[in-house]
Amino acid sequence: MKTLADFKRLQEGTSLTLVNAVGMPNHPWLNKPRIIEKKQTNGIKFEGGSWLYYPSAKEFRIENNIAIIQETDRDGKKYDLLFYKINND
């Protein structure tokens, strides 16, 4: 898996684990495996009802089976925000 297009092809039932959320050390889903319940063209719904909306391709990359979602600050600088481990069960 290398691209956002590959990530969008993950199947319902796949498990993702949020392993880091920059600036949110007490994030409620940190280090808890979550199952993809539903897929749409704009994002994925996890069991329990929360959503992960797909970023643009330029704000996304995969390194060592970790999906990294970036955000752009007010000054136009990108930074890594969310890190999801793709669990290959």
Range of the domain at 30: 4-87
Residue 89 has pLDDT above 70, yes or no: no
Taking the alpha carbons at both ends of the chain, their separation in whole angstroms is 15
* Mean pLDDT of all residues in 20-35: 94
Q: Which residues pair with 79 in a beta bridge?
A: 71
Q: Which residues pair with 50 in a beta bridge?
A: none
Residue 34 has pLDDT above 80, yes or no: yes
Predicted model pTM: 0.91
Domain count of the fold of the chain: 1
In whole angstroms, what is the distance from residue 26 CA to residue 1 CA? 29
